[in-house]
């Protein structure tokens, strides 16, 4: 089992809809969880991080963490075409590990 | 504040050549990482370091070496380059715990 897995894409949503991105991790001792956005040819950029169970909101983005289920998600409300990118889930366990990414397309 | 600086940005190597990818951070971060990213894929961890003098292998270390003689620098060495090492390489640093990782701009390497 891979350390960090994400729902396979690509994911397409219409403009204004909610995009839901999911991530599971295998190391129960993992402490911190990150969502990064990566545009083609660019470095990953941090959207938000979460380390406590529950929800964390930042503008149109909400991260949800459930340590018992080893699951972390990212919701993007009012999706915009500029949100079209690859979203990477990252976890700090014994080191800093990334998932394979989910490509999101927001259709005008 | 420069953050994480990677050089070079682009490089073409011939099979069997060697090179060093440079990574420097000025934030006094303890943790530094090297990743490679193949087209359409996520980031795979090559090597990491938790402090000066300490390095360890990640998921895909074969064909690479690293050193960490100072807190600031974490160079990645490719010996005997192979076409399979064609990729984009990212260096990242993090202070530790629940803090943001900072990435360099990446090095696009092609081995022909």
| pLDDT tens track for A20-77 | 999 999 999 888 999 999 999 899 999 999 989 999 999 999 999 999 999 999 999 9
pLDDT of residue B98 exceeding 80 = no
Out of B41, B59, B106, the one facing A100 most closely (by C-beta) is: B41
Q: Are the beta carbons of B66 and B49 closer than 8 angstroms?
A: yes
pLDDT of residue A1 exceeding 70 = no
Token reading at A107 = 């259709």
pLDDT of residue B1 exceeding 70 = no
- Which of A52, A95, A104 should be substituted to probe chain B, the one whose Cβ sees the most B Cβ atoms within 10 Å? A95
Residue B97 has a pLDDT of 66
pLDDT tens sequence across B22-50? 999 999 999 999 999 998 888 999 999 99
DSSP letter assigned to residue B9: S
Residue with more model confidence, A91 or A93: A91
Chain A residues near residue B90 by CB distance under 8 angstroms: 43-44
pLDDT tens sequence across B52-82? 999 999 999 999 999 999 999 999 999 899 9
- Chain A residue with Cα closest to B89: A43
Closest CA to B61 of B33, B24, B96, B39: B33
Chain A residues near residue B58 by CB distance under 8 angstroms: 95
Residue A93 has a pLDDT of 79
Q: Hey, is the C-beta of A53 within 8 angstroms of any chain B C-beta?
A: no
β-pairing, B107-111 vs B10-13, is parallel
Residue B35 has a pLDDT of 96
Chain B residues near residue A102 by CB distance under 8 angstroms: none
Q: Please state the three-class secondary structure of chain A as a single string.
A: CCCEEECCCCEEEECCCCEEEEEEECCCCCCEEEEEEECCCCCCEEEEEECCCEEEEECCEEEEEECCCCEEEEEECCCCHHHCEEEEEEEECCCEEECCCEEEEEEC
């Amino acid at each position: 089992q891979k350390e960090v897995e994400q729902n396979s894409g690509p994911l397409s949503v219409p403009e204004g809809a909610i995009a839901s991105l999911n991530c599971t991790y295998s190391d129960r001792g993992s402490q911190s969880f990150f969502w990064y956005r990566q545009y083609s040819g660019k470095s990953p950029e941090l959207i938000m991080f979460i380390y406590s169970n529950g929800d964390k909101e930042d503008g149109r983005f909400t991260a949800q963490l459930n340590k018992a289920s080893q699951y972390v998600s990212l919701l993007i409300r009012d999706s915009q075409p500029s949100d079209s990118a690859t979203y990477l889930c990252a976890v700090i366990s014994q080191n800093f590990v990334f998932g394979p990414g989910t490509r999101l397309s927001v259709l005008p | 504040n420069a953050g994480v600086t990677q050089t070079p940005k682009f490089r073409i190597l011939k099979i069997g050549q060697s090179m060093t990818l440079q990574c420097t951070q000025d934030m006094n971060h303890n943790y530094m990482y090297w990743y490679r990213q193949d087209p359409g894929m996520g980031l795979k961890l090559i090597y990491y370091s938790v402090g000066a003098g300490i390095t360890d292998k990640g998921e895909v270390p074969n064909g690479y070496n690293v050193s960490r003689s100072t807190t600031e620098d974490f160079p990645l060495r490719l010996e005997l380059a192979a076409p399979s090492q064609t990729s984009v390489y990212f260096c990242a640093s993090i202070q530790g715990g629940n803090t943001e990782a900072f990435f360099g701009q990446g090095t696009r390497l092609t081995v022909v």
